[in-house]
A = this chain, B = another copy of it.
């Protein structure tokens, strides 16, 4: 309004330049959206006006509302945002999600927050066409939140017992864990220990089968079920297998190993519920001069690339991470109202050098 309004940033709208160029806003819109249908002379005039007035092209905010489609998918997690760039599993998954997005021209919005109140708000107000939810932690709440948006969404790694109605892509944790355990029993191992993923939000420490059965996170529960089903099958008394709940970081894993190896009967085989746990364990073992796989064998879970180059390379259960990412994106983008139902992908045992015959 005031003539000296040059300090204000860009109050210039499409309508303004339309007026300046002496055309209707409809025509002005066409100049940008479908230049070929407007006469060259007019087009030039409008473009010149735009240039002169410092107009940066149609504001997507306006277009968006009309079009209804954002053309971006949101990836949500309850972890801090930097999780996407720190965690190996997340990184591989994100790389494959982003490839799928690149291929279809969709954008990616990272959704997360420092506290759960803000998380809710961020999910409610994320400008996306759908969500991919990382259920690593606080899964149920996230799923609940995402569901409330009434947008297509798919949960990654949300497992069996949860609400049937939510679309989910996961792997067969029970079968995978079974594979890992069987591999070790076939190598002759009888004394096991389990390094578990989080069971509840309660930190880390020794835990029990009963606790895990009540676990908040079904992935943790299912993997334990898989392990124990297989161990029981070959008559190992699972009630004597120590289970240590970690929070998937170095500190808790090392504490777990301190605990496990403090016992009288030390294990010859360790079942780690994630590669990250297994890799931290490898460090601890090396530092304690326990050879792998000479003294102790260890099998991870996930199949992150770091496992292939660790010392020794990690025997693990590899998830088809890339495939999962692709499917998730596809599920969101092609969603036509009917929710894709839950999909369970197969996993594969990859034997590398961290497992060998039992020495006892």
Contact = CB atoms under 8 A, between A and B. Distances in A.
Contacts of A108: 81, 109-110
Name the interface size band of chain A.
35 or more
A327 interface: no
Interface in A75-116: 80-82, 84-86, 91-92, 94-96, 98-99, 101-103, 105, 107-114
B126 A99 contact: no
A149 B54 CA distance: 10
A64 interface: yes
Contacts of A39: none
Contacts of A107: 109-111, 122, 126
Given A85-B91, A108-B109, A56 B151 contact: yes
Secondary structure class of chain A's binding surface, majority of residues:
mixed
A65 interface: yes
A65 B61 contact: yes
Contact of A57 (B85, B103, B124): B124
A105 B119 CA distance: 9
Contact of A82 (B9, B84, B98): B98
A96 B84 CA distance: 12
A359 interface: no
Contact of A8 (B57, B86, B118, B337): B337
A148 interface: yes
B109 A72 contact: yes
Interface of A: 7-10, 54-57, 60-65, 68, 70-72, 80-82, 84-86, 91-92, 94-96, 98-99, 101-103, 105, 107-114, 118, 122, 124-127, 148-151, 337
Given A72-B109, A82-B98, A102-B113, 12 more contacts: A60-B127, A61-B127, A70-B127, A80-B98, A80-B99, A82-B94, A82-B96, A84-B98, A85-B85, A85-B91, A85-B98, A105-B122
25 contacts: A9-B150, A9-B337, A55-B150, A56-B149, A57-B124, A57-B149, A60-B124, A61-B64, A61-B68, A61-B127, A64-B65, A80-B102, A81-B99, A81-B108, A82-B96, A82-B98, A82-B102, A86-B95, A91-B91, A102-B112, A102-B113, A102-B114, A105-B118, A107-B109, A108-B110
